A and B are shown apart, each in its own frame.
Chain A
């Protein structure tokens, strides 16, 4: 069995981009995918691709419990024809010994890097830039997302050649699945010595969803061919942030023009976009007079540092437009909302579409929309409350596509005109005033800005709102105690970020 004279039955031939090509040519390919992404299909295609060219292919995977949404690693080796001799191939990817790494999700590309499967001397990386968020990222009460831009940077640095694109969206846009676009990008990358026609033939032979898969494959292949010339994909530092719109030249509704003029006249330019967003929010929530009230509330901060004005512009608007049943009913009955819902189910103009809302208002919410005096009366009558509670505090399903359901919600939304007199409004306004007074009376600009930012914790409905408010109150208490200390702002910011990361804190 031994080849005399040579411990290795291999010889080196022509140089290829500085790397010697060893014979027989063999390529090691690892595929990182999530359960349910069709990684197995991609591997089957790769095996078929190699075998139709007469190459020897060996593939294996470790699914284990990962078949249920976890991460799965597939590994295959392909070797050019070696008549009469059978290559012995490894069953797992070896760090530093991978020619092609395919990752069906961005963090999985990062995981391949972590395992040493991407090395600058040889690895071509085909990766999708889209994210499938892990549970750990989703359960955070604030923004718990991993840093995509940083991971992409490290992957790019470690790859010999990187082809990265939102392969998921590309596949979907052609009515196909991500395995097709990844396979196409691989074809276009030139990392395998097989022509595009072979890739297409493999997909054609697989017999399922062929047309759509071929379209996705070709689109991805083109993209990969163009990759070296195209500008490198860059990801935003925080893809979840939405920038404020610039202040419009003229207010769309003439009634708001004086308020717009007032922003321009009385507030620093840096805060204009935020004041515009805030003003739009509160007038939409209530009315133009409420917009004037908003500017009155931000005005005491106008002469402070830019950061303080901006935070006041943002968070006063948020606090003034608290979530209540009136707002929810209004949002759910809007024309643009109905259009969005129809788009979600790909409905045409003639399609029959229905929407069922999941509501569960509690007695508190019902009392909240009553005039203060009435609500206080009810509080004094426990019998009446006990009688009302089970009748009001229960889950309700409202069909907003029906006239009846729509009118029910319009009726609630119409309570807007009585909102200023209701109990909830009184409570919210008192809470808001106390907070603004504390912030205004804090001479330290940095601390005042942080105190304003803490409003981010107060959000949602029912228990969520109660929990957020109590955490907010704790922070305000801490802020007052820290007032006057040199590092108060940083400490308050750290406390707040901690609470935004941990639901149980």
Chain B
């Protein structure tokens, strides 16, 4: 069960044709897939396309009715391989993932798919996680499209354009026997807007027919000599077909402008911000009525030579706007123009930065440079641009990197690891992708590298040299359950068994692929009516030959967690040592349990409500607990005591009573300030009676103590 429920969004998937659909970009894509008669959808969750997967998972009954097959794939490679269904059969398939990380994983399958080509439309929807807010390395998907020759659509950030791109994508794919990538940037995925719906369509070709009447075509298999033929097909047939389709259906847009001696060539996805930059330069209005002619590439790849020439011919200069590097478009446009003998000057990365987000401010600067050079008249009177003063505020602001949530079951693992390191010294730690990578942030500062999803274990491989070189310490690798099933079981653990690794492998088993939004995975310990779950990670690692396994079933037990880690790091046992740290992701747990608890309270059942607290008078204000925890609910407050100038610890109302702060204070022998309080909702009469008597007796003792203290009180109470 994912972190968010999409009940409302799912209802929108079945609205009749002609309805105004309101929602975010990635949901519009989901609806468009059904309108396009898609036969199967798969993918791997990750921001910014997780919602596409989550909505489809919640929409299973609708999909069943339409005859659409959906599955969350084991990895992006698995998803890409699923597109093979469209190789021999005229069925439309769509896959989705976060790019470029997912595209990296999927490349092998994609290259094979693109070589043989497809019969049914194959659409690869990539969430381009580039620029501000990105959580991954800064690369663009463009290169993948070029190297395997898959067409790349980059629609305007505008819901009707995005929906149209889905329909165009399938048609282009079928017209050219080529898989098509549809690229959506983060902001486009989360863009709220509206579009008019069409009717959902059942797939024109059913996979049932494929199974019952299988077809094969040896020439589609990537083996010589067919592979050499594929390469020629790509250049001689598929490319020209694509150019013809793009021109015939006017997928790219030409926008006229009065300043016809200059022009701007840009990616569709950048349109809105370019328009805003032009507006701020007094070159356009709110409706995109521009003085500067524009050529908008809703198809980022391939470029259409004739269109490029048509736009540039007769112009003094054009500005090419594409983010990242290298400058694919600028180079290609230069080649086209030189080859055709067109003298137009081509600007791009000389005026715009090589890397980073093309924010409106960056675009405004670049376009201004272009205009100053080729249309200086625009600046006869200086354009006043209200640029704010350089901020004096920067030095005052504390950075706020993301971190583990309140009550996160992974926090105690890292607290325990820090405590284990106190005894055994610091170790080399290989990290992985997932929430657990926040261990690299304050206050833990654990982990030196992250090499990819599920690759935490394998990235410690070279350090197995420790045995050969007589090193006194082992390497430690962290991996999440998501990464484990993605590929870590084979590339990490089985590899460690085979190569007789002596490293320590910590597998964080929180029940879900948590960082991507809490989707189920094979080891999820929940009932999912559509999937087979509860496949224990311990059985899997033992199955591939690991002999030393410790499973901690409650990570919050910091002492047990520390003992397991210390043992793994120091045992004389030779071979991979696997520590499985299990506790459910707190976000999901709260989402599941909160309504149940509220219901139980309403029904009159006995329910315990717990939270933690700190005695301000006992707290020393040293904050050692925070250095070992970093829990968001563990915060600071004034001591209320003039003799204690340092702020004391305080547990705020967001506490979910996971117990970590108390366990750490105990395990690390910090201080006795922490306590857990519970309130009993709907207590029984016996319990009430006992509590009353207790309170009376304890109250009597307390009153006695208070009277005694009053004999030594200086201030009136």
Q: How far is A67 from B491 in the complex, measured between Cα atoms in Å? A: 30
Residue in A60, A79, A332, A335 whose beta carbon sits within 8 Å of that of B618 in the complex: A332
Known contacts A331-B617, A464-B624; A65/B135 CB under 8 A:
yes
Is the C-beta of B665 less than 8 angstroms from some C-beta in chain A? yes
Q: How far is A118 from B393 in the complex, measured between Cα atoms in Å? A: 12
Is the C-beta of A296 less than 8 angstroms from some C-beta in chain B? no
Contacts between chains A and B (CB distance < 8 A), count = 428
- Chain A residues with Cβ below 8 Å from B646 are 141-143, 240, 456, 459, 500
Contact with A along B34-67 (1 / 0, CB 8 A): 0000000000000110000000000000000000
Residue in A288, A344, A403 whose beta carbon sits within 8 Å of that of B694 in the complex: A403
Are A110 and B397 in contact, with the CB atoms below 8 A?
Answer: yes
Is the C-beta of A452 less than 8 angstroms from some C-beta in chain B? no
Residue in B403, B630, B695, B714 whose beta carbon sits within 8 Å of that of A256 in the complex: B714
Are A283 and B712 in contact, with the CB atoms below 8 A?
Answer: yes
Most interface-central of B289, B398, B640 (chain A CB within 10 A):
B398
Known contacts A7-B289, A146-B396, A253-B710; A62/B190 CB under 8 A:
yes
Q: How far is A20 from B630 in the complex, measured between Cα atoms in Å? A: 49
Known contacts A91-B191, A284-B712; A114/B622 CB under 8 A:
no
Known contacts A245-B642, A287-B712, A395-B667; A111/B397 CB under 8 A:
yes
Chain B 651-679 interface residues, beta-carbon cutoff 8 Å to A: 653, 662-663, 665-672, 674-679
Are A138 and B623 in contact, with the CB atoms below 8 A?
Answer: yes
Q: How far is A267 from B146 in the complex, measured between Cα atoms in Å? A: 85
Is the C-beta of B438 less than 8 angstroms from some C-beta in chain A? yes
Is the C-beta of A107 less than 8 angstroms from some C-beta in chain B? yes
Is the C-beta of A193 less than 8 angstroms from some C-beta in chain B? no
CB distance from B184 to the nearest CB of A (A): 12
Chain A 338-385 interface residues, beta-carbon cutoff 8 Å to B: 338, 341, 344-347, 350-362
- Would you mind naming 14 contact pairs between A and B with Cβ atoms under 8 Å apart? A7-B285, A35-B402, A63-B133, A88-B158, A116-B361, A133-B398, A253-B713, A283-B714, A318-B644, A333-B705, A345-B611, A410-B701, A460-B622, A503-B623
Are A114 and B391 in contact, with the CB atoms below 8 A?
Answer: yes
Chain A 93-134 interface residues, beta-carbon cutoff 8 Å to B: 94-97, 107, 110-111, 113-114, 116, 118-119, 121, 132-134
Is the C-beta of B687 less than 8 angstroms from some C-beta in chain A? yes
- Chain B residues with Cβ below 8 Å from A121 are 386
Known contacts A134-B399, A135-B442; A242/B714 CB under 8 A:
no
The 5 A-B pairs of least Cβ separation, nearest first, read A62-B133, A460-B620, A64-B133, A70-B402, A90-B276
- Chain B residues with Cβ below 8 Å from A239 are 638
Chain B 390-411 interface residues, beta-carbon cutoff 8 Å to A: 391-394, 396-405
Are A328 and B132 in contact, with the CB atoms below 8 A?
Answer: no
Q: Tell which of A196-204, A274-282, A421-429, A482-490 binds the partner.
A: A274-282
Q: How far is A503 from B621 in the complex, measured between Cα atoms in Å? A: 12
CB distance from B698 to the nearest CB of A (A): 5
Are A328 and B289 in contact, with the CB atoms below 8 A?
Answer: no
Is the C-beta of A478 less than 8 angstroms from some C-beta in chain B? no
Are A68 and B285 in contact, with the CB atoms below 8 A?
Answer: no
Is the C-beta of A261 less than 8 angstroms from some C-beta in chain B? no
Chain A 123-169 interface residues, beta-carbon cutoff 8 Å to B: 132-143, 145-147, 150-151, 154-155, 158
Are B623 and A352 in contact, with the CB atoms below 8 A?
Answer: no
Chain A residue nearest in CB terms to B443 = A139
Chain B residue nearest in CB terms to A500 = B646
Q: How far is A103 from B402 in the complex, measured between Cα atoms in Å? A: 18
Contact with A along B469-497 (1 / 0, CB 8 A): 00000000000000000000000000000
Q: How far is A341 from B613 in the complex, measured between Cα atoms in Å? A: 8
Chain A 271-310 interface residues, beta-carbon cutoff 8 Å to B: 273-274, 276-281, 283-284, 287-288, 291
Is the C-beta of B353 less than 8 angstroms from some C-beta in chain A? no
Is the C-beta of A209 less than 8 angstroms from some C-beta in chain B? no
Known contacts A134-B400, A333-B705, A401-B698; A114/B714 CB under 8 A:
no
Most interface-central of B291, B669, B716 (chain A CB within 10 A):
B669
Are B392 and A96 in contact, with the CB atoms below 8 A?
Answer: no
Are B187 and A252 in contact, with the CB atoms below 8 A?
Answer: no
Known contacts A96-B387, A323-B620, A468-B622; A87/B287 CB under 8 A:
yes
Is the C-beta of B148 less than 8 angstroms from some C-beta in chain A? no
Q: How far is A1 from B157 in the complex, measured between Cα atoms in Å? A: 20
- Chain A residues with Cβ below 8 Å from B640 are 242
Are B135 and A461 in contact, with the CB atoms below 8 A?
Answer: no
Are B386 and A252 in contact, with the CB atoms below 8 A?
Answer: no
CB distance from A95 to the nearest CB of B (A): 6
Is the C-beta of B369 less than 8 angstroms from some C-beta in chain A? no
- Chain B residues with Cβ below 8 Å from A356 are 675-678
Is the C-beta of B609 less than 8 angstroms from some C-beta in chain A? yes
Are A146 and B402 in contact, with the CB atoms below 8 A?
Answer: no
- Chain A residues with Cβ below 8 Å from B563 are none
Are A463 and B669 in contact, with the CB atoms below 8 A?
Answer: yes
CB distance from A384 to the nearest CB of B (A): 22
Q: How many residues of chain B get a CB closer than 8 Å to chain A's CBs? A: 136
Residue in B257, B680, B716 whose beta carbon sits within 8 Å of that of A352 in the complex: B680
Are B609 and A66 in contact, with the CB atoms below 8 A?
Answer: no
Known contacts A133-B636, A314-B643; A79/B286 CB under 8 A:
yes
Are B642 and A8 in contact, with the CB atoms below 8 A?
Answer: no
Chain B residue nearest in CB terms to A245 = B715
Is the C-beta of B527 less than 8 angstroms from some C-beta in chain A? no
- Chain B residues with Cβ below 8 Å from A362 are 669
Is the C-beta of B423 less than 8 angstroms from some C-beta in chain A? no
Are B443 and A86 in contact, with the CB atoms below 8 A?
Answer: no
Known contacts A151-B393, A314-B643, A335-B703; A252/B714 CB under 8 A:
yes
Contact with B along A196-229 (1 / 0, CB 8 A): 0000000000000000000000000000000000
CB distance from B667 to the nearest CB of A (A): 7
- Chain B residues with Cβ below 8 Å from A337 are 615, 617
Is the C-beta of A402 less than 8 angstroms from some C-beta in chain B? yes
Is the C-beta of B113 less than 8 angstroms from some C-beta in chain A? no
- Chain B residues with Cβ below 8 Å from A415 are none
Are A358 and B706 in contact, with the CB atoms below 8 A?
Answer: no
Known contacts A9-B289, A68-B435, A242-B642; A328/B273 CB under 8 A:
no
Chain A residue nearest in CB terms to B358 = A92
CB distance from A272 to the nearest CB of B (A): 12
Is the C-beta of B350 less than 8 angstroms from some C-beta in chain A? no
Contact with A along B163-199 (1 / 0, CB 8 A): 0000000000000000000000011101111000000
- Chain A residues with Cβ below 8 Å from B337 are none
A63-B47, A110-B396 are known; give 4 further A-B pairs, CB within 8 A: A65-B133, A68-B404, A338-B702, A356-B675
Are B717 and A252 in contact, with the CB atoms below 8 A?
Answer: yes
Q: How far is A345 from B618 in the complex, measured between Cα atoms in Å? A: 20
Chain B 246-302 interface residues, beta-carbon cutoff 8 Å to A: 255-258, 271-273, 275-276, 280, 282-289, 291
Is the C-beta of B111 less than 8 angstroms from some C-beta in chain A? no
Q: How far is A240 from B645 in the complex, measured between Cα atoms in Å? A: 7
Residue in A7, A58, A89, A464 whose beta carbon sits within 8 Å of that of B291 in the complex: A7
Q: How far is A114 from B275 in the complex, measured between Cα atoms in Å? A: 25
Q: How far is A121 from B388 in the complex, measured between Cα atoms in Å? A: 10
Is the C-beta of B129 less than 8 angstroms from some C-beta in chain A? yes
Are B291 and A107 in contact, with the CB atoms below 8 A?
Answer: no
Known contacts A239-B638, A334-B705, A358-B665; A328/B396 CB under 8 A:
no
Is the C-beta of A36 less than 8 angstroms from some C-beta in chain B? yes
Are B622 and A464 in contact, with the CB atoms below 8 A?
Answer: yes
Are A91 and B289 in contact, with the CB atoms below 8 A?
Answer: no
Q: How far is A462 from B613 in the complex, measured between Cα atoms in Å? A: 20
Are A137 and B402 in contact, with the CB atoms below 8 A?
Answer: no
Q: How far is A276 from B715 in the complex, measured between Cα atoms in Å? A: 9
Is the C-beta of B683 less than 8 angstroms from some C-beta in chain A? yes
Residue in B191, B288, B644, B717 whose beta carbon sits within 8 Å of that of A59 in the complex: B191
Are B624 and A146 in contact, with the CB atoms below 8 A?
Answer: no
- Chain A residues with Cβ below 8 Å from B639 are 240, 242
Is the C-beta of A231 less than 8 angstroms from some C-beta in chain B? no
CB distance from B647 to the nearest CB of A (A): 4
- Chain A residues with Cβ below 8 Å from B360 are 90, 92, 94, 97
